[in-house]
Amino acid sequence: MRTKILVVDDELSMREFLSILLEGEGYCVGLAENAEEALRLIERERFELVISDVSMPGLSGIALLGRIKSVAPDTAVLLITAFTTAEQAVEAMKLGAYDYIGKPFKVEEVKVLVAKALENRSLVEENRRLRAEVTERFSFSGLIGKSSQMRDVYNLIEKVAGSTANILIQGESGTGKELAAKAVHYNSPRRDMAFVAVNCGAIPETLIESELFGHTKGAFTGALSDRPGLFEQAEGGTLFLDEIGELPLLLQSKLLRVLQEREFRRVGGSVSLKANVRIVAASNRILEEQVQDGSFREDLFYRLNVVQLRLPALRERVEDILPLVAHFYGKFFAAPAPGQELVTPEALHLLLNYPFPGNVRELENLVERCVVLGNKVITPECLPAKVSQFRRTQLAPDAFDIPNGGMDLQAYLDSLEYRLLVQALEKSGGVKKKAAEYLHLTFRSFRYRLAKFGMEEE
């Protein structure tokens, strides 16, 4: 679609001249002989740029500028005048004009100013779009799921995001610990400052101190210049320490000192630097067990564990599988239309019964695989063999071993109930009354249970 520019001038010759010039550059041009007519056009159409004379009968170009910025703030404005004064320029810039074109002007000058005004507008719009995208992506809605477990996660993030308390996120690999950390950051007063993430298990032990705290020139072989560490890069913002359980004991003691004193020194340095940083740590290991076996400092654990946020495994919230599939489908293909079938009943049955050891990350890879293979609907045929051939020996609770870290009984019972509701619907061909009979439930009770999982409007 061509960029639309509105030319406003009471002189017909000027309107015609600018129209020919701009259309020759590939723009779509609208014309108005006064400010009132221009405002009527702006109410009906969207213009990326308005070029207006300052001196016109009725509303002046300056007055028009103010009105445009109130009704269409994203529209760029260039003003044309033969009598430019410093006061006029300052007033126009305060009201949001991009620039002035002084009469008489050169054709090339107009072309350059128009191009720059449109480029500046695009940059402003892109920055706003990216900021909105970041906010959306890492807001509570960016964490996909409406299960009771995820609602608990949202509620806790909402309560603690505004504080400065350290947070410990625990959960299996692939449950979205970094996404939760970003949700904390982008819903906090620090949202406009840096979010810096580091995987403590991915950095060699000999380098991690320098990575965290920085180093001075000559501190060790290869230190050719001063280098700030991650604490300095995250100043005023949030430092996310992923896989904190992998941090060596020596570094644990140094990290503890930083958390206690709120200051640190670069490797090889003698000057103490302040650390205005919020710490969010995460681990897929159970840190309490590491404290017991001596591989993690107890005092550091309590410093980090001011607030603990546990992310549930995907198998504990199977009712979120379908919303997650829709989210990833939109990410890799296109946003699904309301009511669009994304998964066949047979494929959904397989997904609900598969334990997803890789959690949400594994489901995302699975959806991407299906889309790449050209499937607009996920069927058993496009699923990996480990999913399509997986069979549970039984659904009874005694087939499940309680993990060492304990389990959420209600979450497990909810997931079991959800699977049985889906199976009953599959077995009955979608006939709810018959599905209720399979489960020895009244029709009213069956509908209530469907509504509880968002499968039917209450």
The whole-chain average pLDDT of the chain stands at: 86
Give the tens place of pLDDT for each residue, 280-328.
Answer: 999 998 899 899 999 999 999 999 999 999 999 998 898 899 889 988 9
CA distances from 425 to 325, 346, 377, 378 (A): 20, 12, 19, 19
- Alpha-carbon distance 363 to 420, whole Å? 21
- Alpha-carbon distance 390 to 13, whole Å? 77
- Alpha-carbon distance 406 to 254, whole Å? 31
pLDDT band at 396 (very low <50, low <70, confident <90, very high): very low
Q: What percent of the chain shows pLDDT beyond 70?
A: 89
The sign of the CA dihedral 251, 257, 258, 263 is negative
CB 314 within 8 A of CB 176: no
Tokens 């002035």 — which residue?
100
Q: Are strands 263-264 and 273-274 parallel, antiparallel or unpaired?
A: antiparallel
The confidence score (pLDDT) of residue 399 equals 45
Across 84-88, 160-164, 167-171, 412-416, least confident range = 84-88
Q: Nearest-CA neighbor of 35 among 12, 15, 65, 4?
A: 65
Taking 50 as the threshold, does the pLDDT of residue 394 lie above it?
A: no
**Long-range contacts from 42-46, C-beta under 8 angstroms, 24+ separation:** 42/6, 42/68, 42/71, 42/72, 42/75, 43/71, 45/4, 46/4, 46/72
Please compute the mean of the pLDDT values over residues 61-73 and round it to a whole number: 87
Helix ranges (DSSP H) in 313-454? 321-332, 345-353, 359-372, 385-388, 409-427, 432-438, 443-452
Task: Supply 436's token pair.
Answer: 């209720």
The confidence score (pLDDT) of residue 249 equals 93
> Domains, the chain, ranges and CATH?
4-134 (3.40.50.2300), 140-310 (3.40.50.300), 314-391 (1.10.8.60), 395-458 (1.10.10.60)
- Cut 0.75: pTM above it: no
